Structure 1
Amino acid sequence: MTTTFITGANKSLGYEAARRLIAAGHTVLVGARDVERGRAAADALGARFVQIDVTDDASVAAAAADVAAHEGTIDVLVNNAGVSGPHKPTDELTAADATAVFDVNVVGIVRVTHAFLPLLRTSANPVVVNVSSGMGSFEATHDAARVESSFAAPLYTSSKAAVTMLTTQYAKSLPGVKVNAVDPGYTATDFNGNSGPQTITEGTDAIVELASIGSDGPTGQFRDRHGVVGW
């Protein structure tokens, strides 16, 4: 049985990925900052809730300790929690805004991965999936034919570019652990007012695929539901 921990799993992509992985036979742990929403989501899914705030060292350490005490291991870590950042003109963005976005989207991945690595290393097939975005792809955001090129979101896009690079560096430097990044694609979620053309299920295709790889699976890749993404 594969045990999978997903951050930000109380809604949207995280919730749908949890639902699909449970259906595929995973034991899924629903990680969420908000206790009430997280527990409600876990109850609806038939999963166990673990409270975690990816911006708080003590909360992340407590979550890892909780999983160590109950499951004793995890096979898959899905770093899904993320924020879009403030919606305001670029010339009004502040250092505090940048710090808040990067603390969730980038530093949060470092914080959670560091805390859960000891549990992952007890698995015969440890896997990490980092949810990045095509909005962080240099190729996509400079291709006039792609929707990513039509938006300007300096903090979100740069944070997701950092997630992809962080992923490839982890893949190089963590032997035995498969680490990949995912671009869900332009999916109808609360991030975009449900305006994306993809369904929430389509948006989780790559997450589910990479959370389900075997010992011969890829590492250090950036993939969407169609395959490897240029970045």
Structure 2
Amino acid sequence: MINVYSWPTPNGHKVHVMLEECGFRLGRDWQAFPVNIGKGDQFKPDFLAISPNNKIPALVDPHGPDGKPISLFESGAILLYLAAKTGKLLPKSDRLKFQVLQWLMFQMGSVGPMIGQTHHFRQYAPEKIDYAVNRYTNETRRLYGVMDRQLATSKFIACNQYTIADVAIFPWLRNWANHGIDWADYPHLKKWFDLVSARPAVQRGVQVLADLRRPLTGDKERDILFGKTQYAKR
């Protein structure tokens, strides 16, 4: 049984979806342990032992590459591990594989960080800072445009087959309305979004732990996620 320590965020859902897409089933092949990041579970010693950057998700597979247990943090690394373990969602040819990997890196280096900042300054910041809102919203719109242009000539993000690049990017676009996005501006991306949304494994994956998430309202939660608690020496 694969153990996943996670929370219903885009990075968490990337791994939930990937497991389901690879043929693993929640409760049969893998189990999800909630790490409530609003309450500070990510700073507990047991979690830090497998995720030293105190970020979800983390994965523990009792049957690693050499038959021994392996623990992994960083969602992109987990996607690559599961693709290697199952032989799914990462093309075998070098040409297609590197096409996929560049779009996976695009998600890790641009989509996640920039959209994360957009979401923070539009939804969570205690005061509205117009410069920050405009800067990150405009960058998010630029990234949506990059993906829209790519999908004008490709069925899926990296190529004409569904891959880990799609798994990685999709959860980050589910809150498009909070990003200041109008889908009418990105018709190719919207078509892709609807196509991926309809996949049964995606629908199962984004429901994992979803009933546990609550709106962020308290000062204590804000401090844990964005304040001094986040930066305390450990």
The TM-score, its normalising length taken from structure 1, stands at: 0.35
User: Which structure has more helix as a fraction of its residues?
Assistant: 2
- Structure of higher RCO (CA pairs closer than 8 Å, 6+ residues apart): 2
CA radius of gyration, larger in = 2
The TM-score, its normalising length taken from structure 2, stands at: 0.35
User: Which structure has more strand as a fraction of its residues?
Assistant: 1
